[in-house]
Structure 1
Amino acid sequence: MCFFAGKVKPTIGVIAVSRDGLSVESIARFLLPASECKFVLNSIIEELQKDPWPFSADQRSSRCIGATLSVEASLLGVCVPGSGARIMAFIGGPSTEGPDSIVAKSLSEPIRSHKDLDKGSTPLYNKAVKFCEEISKQLVHQGHVLDLFACALDQVGVVEMKVAVERTGGIVVLAESFGHSVFKESLQRIFQSSENDLGLSFNGIFEVNCSKDVKIQGIIGPCTSLEKKSHLSSDTVVGQGSTGAWKMCGLDRKTSVCLVFDITKKDEADAIGQSTSNQFYFQFLTYYQHHEGQMRLRATTLSRRWVAGSGGVQELIAGFDQEAAAAVMARLVSFKMEAEADFDPIRWLDRALISLCSKFGDYQKESPSSFSLSPRLSIFLQFMFNLRRSQFVQVFNNSPDETAYFRMTLNRENVANAVVMIQPSLISYSFQSSPEPVLLDVTAIAADRILLLDSYFTIVIFHGITIAQWQKAGYQDQGHEAFAQLLQAPQEEADRTIKERFPVPRLAVCDQYGSQPRFLLAKLNPSVTYNSDNPPPPGGDVIFTNDVSFQVFMDHLQRLAVQ
């Protein structure tokens, strides 16, 4: 069923999949069956008119997003209490009216920046976040989801609404306008399902049972604590903690959460009646409402064993998952940057790496040149180097809304997608070889090469200067089939990636020395800069930055690890 209410700005859509609570006649006043919804919805959209209330050119539009969300949440609460439902909020500008307003109407007042949030000079921010927390509590109690589609050139308040979207398991899409391909294709992707179920489930409850050798610190992801504290709850809380059960109002086949555990000391284990043994286990129980209406239960049980002594180090290394560890570190550092005042993410990541290298590296004390690390750990260092430079840690060039969007997406995606966000993939296309992965380094740029960069949120097709000149000359249309195929290959790969991903990434096609190579250069290892001694390869490029390269980063890391 679908119901739309409110003015053009904002427009809120409500999709309900069950009818419990009020009578059918009462619900029909607000919600329509899917068979009638399309006609009524199209009629409403066609009859929409521009807001007749004028506003001065130096004023922002009047928007009361919070009041609209409150009405929609209450409407769902009386119409379909306890049944799966979603509120889809399409927002084209910042809220300027009501308790959730993020900026004054006067255009002379800028919208809050990261610097303003750090200084605490945002009088409207805390009030708006508190209001959104109340909305999230209401939606979680009802088992309903809030989805956010923020489409505007300016900020709309994603960082304030983050708590409501994330705790209800909603999705978020950030685009420049409602006419942008990122919004249109992402919205279509939600409703493209061969089984007519949208791939969505509702009213999930996630429970964790585990051995008394470990305790649960919390979860970072799209869920809310049910505050069912037990002896398995750790005193240290990370994310949604102090519980053994969490509410997941909205979930799908790709929903991912990050569980953080504490290792119980032996004397603590003895005090609660169980001494540490060689085996320990985890059991994950997920109750959820299927799209057909029935409740389902999925149980997963894992068993692992403890290792100790000098021989246990090699076993730990052999079982180390570098990709999963990188995804966990990214979620942890993002959470700490939001939750802890005066938190230094670079120092925290560096200390974690130094500790890892000191414990698991092979070296002679005070001899950096003797340092070596197992291949099972070496790629993790590259992940951490790129994480330090990523949009999750370096927020200077991003607005608070963009940073919130990046982190919300990271917190719900699986390990494979999280790794692409941290360390983008780079594929080279040339006449000399078939498409092949290359190092994420500035030396990968060549005049006769096309590079395809996938950083999850953005896909970049980068033409070397020679390729760009041939393309402008139209060689691909003059019978040069090999060149035409070379140009087409990265475009086809980019299209395949775009079709498989949600939210839909942006596509940027640029040329070397053109106006948009920054999308690629910002992600590359700056091994060749404007002040480095080694020159770029023929047809290559340099990066104008003071950031250290991966080699310099490793030299410092080895020097500190062997001390």
Structure 2
Amino acid sequence: MAEFLDLESKDGVRMPWNVIPGTKQESSNSVIPVSLLYTPLKPFPNLPILPYSPLRCRSCRSILNPFAVIDYAAKIWICPFCFNRNHFPQHYASISDANLPAELYPEYTTIEYEPLPELHAQNHTPLVYLFVVDNCLIEEEIGYLKLALSQALDLMPDDALIGFITFGSFVQVHELGFSGGGSGIPKCYVFKGSKEVSKDKVMEQLNFFDRKPKPAAGVVAGVRDGLTSESIARFLLPASECEFTLNSLLEELQKDPWGVPSDQRASRCTGTALSIAAHVLGACVPGSGARIMAFVGGPSTEGPGAIVSKNLSEPIRSHKDLDKDSAPYYHKAVKFYEGLSKQLVHQGHIVDLFACALDQVGLAEMKVAVESTGGLVVLAESFGHSVFKDSLKRVFQAGEHDLGPASNGIFEVSCSKDMKIQGILGPCASLEKKGLLCSETVIGQGNTSAWKLCGLDKATTLCIYFDIAKKESPDAIGEATSNLFYLQFLTYYQHISGRMRLRISTISRRWVSGPGSTQELIAGFDQEAAAVTLARLVSFKMENEAEFDPIRWLDRSLIRLCSKYGDYQKENPNSFSLSPRFSIFPQFIFHLRRSQFVQP
């Protein structure tokens, strides 16, 4: 496996087939789908960061890379994806065989661009953290949560913007920055938790346009669209400026004062609180990296997104209720969170869920918002548990095991014309960029060649599935150059420093086709990557196909793979043997089919 690890260390890519079946039929017969695992922000020790904008092909919009053919005399480069001829701009005039720009060095197949501030209008935006805190907790749990949040504040960068919302029966939006011209006392804006609040209503009640006329309908808020920085600073303030105010609020944080009868659950409006948080961020920092960090200690019982009634006589829905479609609140709650996730994806914002309770909190309903925005989920029994405290520290703490979080990313794929993109399985949302690269068959987030990655870190890995479009006979592959294909991945993201960056990875692999191609396919088979892509595909099918039998499907896939690539004599089981390239794969499938992830 050493050569595959070397490829991963170079570009962050692992492929089950490093030599690709050359036609649609051969790809189908190979059992394991043509796919790859890509880690967009994988750390590389010597990754060059270029202080200028990349050069794009006029036709397919792919970016100049080491596989481009260069005509130094005519100052032209030929795109390896569409074969279009492009002229170099004036600032590349000195290019020659002995004077190459960094993006053409053969070893720099992965490279990053960070244009200078003057080349980018808004190149530096601090990260934003909006805490949404459940106060329907017992005093002991509130104490644990206060301590954990205080420690988190100490780890934050000084320029990070902080916001604070609490919720129980009502949602309280706390004002952290307040002018001395008034009373000098911080305010708290209260919203009723039993009904959904529109963005316009939130902006009106928070007095965003108190001293300035409201802009025309349909305009997105933010500094660029007329919202004053003073209005934003009342609710989102740099950590260095709001530390005292926020610590004071945490010290005064108490259990929800509205009494709870002994035969009822606490009145908790989780959905309303998250919706208002999304509206606040959409008004203040649209299109900039921001995290809603929700700390929840029980089930939502009030307003949109509720999963159970307040009466304790009514049990919370179980897995069996969901299977039988007999959970009365489920579909309505899922529809609400789907709408919330679309809003957050449009804004480029993330939802993190820290659920610490012995009871359920409604993750089944909320997961669509967390998954599509690339958020984190931490489940523990108590806010005093080490799992919660250590996980919260890792979000902010720099060091060997830090997450290196980034945000507000856009991911694009370019590929040679004989491949089509089926889709991606991972924490992303489709941007619906349809075109010739999109396959008719869809897996995961498909029918697009661009995706939104609201939240990603250095361990985030996307699984991309491809469809082979070639249908002609193997004889059509003639010249040595025609059996190469190329893939390019573009990840545009907001670095933890606040600057926008663009990472480019361009890779090349070979097609093989015809009777003698089996041994070449075997030589390029990565059984670890194959096990991961197959496991992700099984997980996706289990969730989306009602009558899918995962164990039977895995068994049939393994049998088909062994019958195609194994050596054996018919009716003689002892004669069966597999190449070392496949030898561990059956063990992977054996343990997968017996694991708790697949067993009913």
Coarse TM-score class (shorter-chain normalised)? 0.5 to 0.7
Aligned pair partner of 1:201 in 406, 409, 416: 406
Give the TM-score normalised by structure 2. Answer: 0.61
- Paired AA for residue 8 in structure 1: N
Partner residue in 1 for 2:597: 392
For the residue of structure 1 that corresponds to 2:460, the secondary structure is coil
Higher relative contact order (CA 8 A, sep 6+): 2
Q: Is the 8 A contact 1:17 1:83 kept in 2?
A: no
> Equivalents in 1 of 2:135, 2:473: separation in Å?
59
State the 1:342 CA deviation.
1.3
Distance 1:7 1:281, change over 3 A: closer
State the 1:366 CA deviation.
2.2
Post-superposition CA distance 1:103-132 (Å, at most 9, x none): 222233332222222221222111111111
1:146 corresponds to 2:351: yes
For the residue of structure 2 that corresponds to 1:359, the secondary structure is helix
> Equivalents in 1 of 2:519, 2:280: separation in Å?
58
Partner residue in 1 for 2:266: 61
**Unpaired stretches in structure 1, ≥5 consecutive residues:** 270-275, 396-563
Partner residue in 1 for 2:135: 8
Matched ranges for 1:21-36 at <5 A: 21=224, 22-36=227-241
Q: Which has the higher helix share?
A: 1
1:162 corresponds to 2:367: yes
Identity %: 71
> Equivalents in 2 of 1:265, 1:114: separation in Å?
44
Partner residue in 2 for 1:340: 545
Partner residue in 2 for 1:320: 525
**Unpaired stretches in structure 2, ≥5 consecutive residues:** 1-127, 162-221, 475-480
1:329 corresponds to 2:519: no
Q: Is the 8 A contact 2:271 2:305 kept in 1?
A: yes
Distance 1:303 1:5, change over 3 A: closer
State the 1:374 CA deviation.
1.6
Q: Is the 8 A contact 1:20 1:81 kept in 2?
A: no
> Equivalents in 2 of 1:367, 1:39: separation in Å?
78
State the 1:340 CA deviation.
0.9
State the 1:310 CA deviation.
3.7
Q: Is the 8 A contact 1:20 1:83 kept in 2?
A: no
State the 1:181 CA deviation.
0.7
For the residue of structure 2 that corresponds to 1:376, the secondary structure is coil
> Equivalents in 1 of 2:133, 2:381: separation in Å?
22
Partner residue in 1 for 2:512: 307
1:106 corresponds to 2:311: yes
Aligned pair partner of 2:416 in 211, 214, 225: 211
> Equivalents in 2 of 1:162, 1:137: separation in Å?
13
Post-superposition CA distance 1:344-394 (Å, at most 9, x none): 111111111111111011111122222111221121111111111223212
Q: Is the 8 A contact 1:2 1:32 kept in 2?
A: no
Partner residue in 1 for 2:385: 180
- Paired AA for residue 589 in structure 2: M
- Paired AA for residue 292 in structure 2: I
Post-superposition CA distance 1:464-484 (Å, at most 9, x none): xxxxxxxxxxxxxxxxxxxxx
> Equivalents in 2 of 1:268, 1:339: separation in Å?
35
Distance 1:284 1:348, change over 3 A: same
State the 1:2 CA deviation.
4.9
For the residue of structure 2 that corresponds to 1:266, the secondary structure is coil
1:354 corresponds to 2:559: yes
Distance 1:210 1:198, change over 3 A: closer
State the 1:267 CA deviation.
5.3
Aligned residue pairs, count: 393
Q: Is the 8 A contact 1:63 1:95 kept in 2?
A: yes
Distance 1:323 1:339, change over 3 A: same
For the residue of structure 1 that corresponds to 2:388, the secondary structure is helix
- Paired AA for residue 557 in structure 2: A
Detail structure 1 runs of 4+ shifted over 6 Å in the superposition: 10-16
Q: Is the 8 A contact 1:17 1:291 kept in 2?
A: no
> Equivalents in 2 of 1:5, 1:215: separation in Å?
42
Q: Is the 8 A contact 1:2 1:33 kept in 2?
A: no
State the 1:20 CA deviation.
4.3
